[in-house]
Amino acid sequence: MLIRKILNHKNMESLIKFVQDEFVTKKDFPEFKAGDTITVYYEIKEGQKTRTQFFRGVVIQKKGTGASQTFTIRKMSGTVGVERIFPINLPALQKIEVNKRGKVRRARIFYFRELTGKKARIKERMHKAK
């Protein structure tokens, strides 16, 4: 009974957040959001060999917070749409490049899956002059 009171929902969340902040190593990736076109470089192990592969596409969504954050990228491979979900703290991730900043009005652009041809283009966000 006492343990249940100590490890209630709020304490458990703060405990998980503390462990993630202290022990999970954070990589320094650029800031990106839904609508941006990015290239993700990740390592693939095939037997004894390792090689770097990249996946370039449009960010459809970012989900979660902190170390448990994931992002979904969609690209067209010929006429077939390919989506891939990457955890932000995946050890195999080497680097992320932001190729284009997209201008979208939503945080999750699942409607993008149904669009084809010219409709599937995303306008580029203009950079503010400093």
- Residue at 47 is within a domain: yes
- The angle formed by the CA atoms of residues 98, 96 and 14, to the nearest 5 degrees, is 110
Half-sphere exposure of 78 (CA within 13 A, CB side): 1
Tell me the residue range of the domain where 91 lies: 27-117
The total number of structural domains in the chain stands at 1
pLDDT of 10 strictly over 70: no
Segment 27-39, tens digit of pLDDT: 778 889 899 999 9
Token pair in block for residue 15: 């405990």
Token pair in block for residue 113: 């899956």
- Residue at 75 is within a domain: yes
Beta bridge partners of 50: 45
What's the CATH code of the domain at 110? 2.30.30.790
Segment 94-114, tens digit of pLDDT: 999 999 998 988 889 998 888
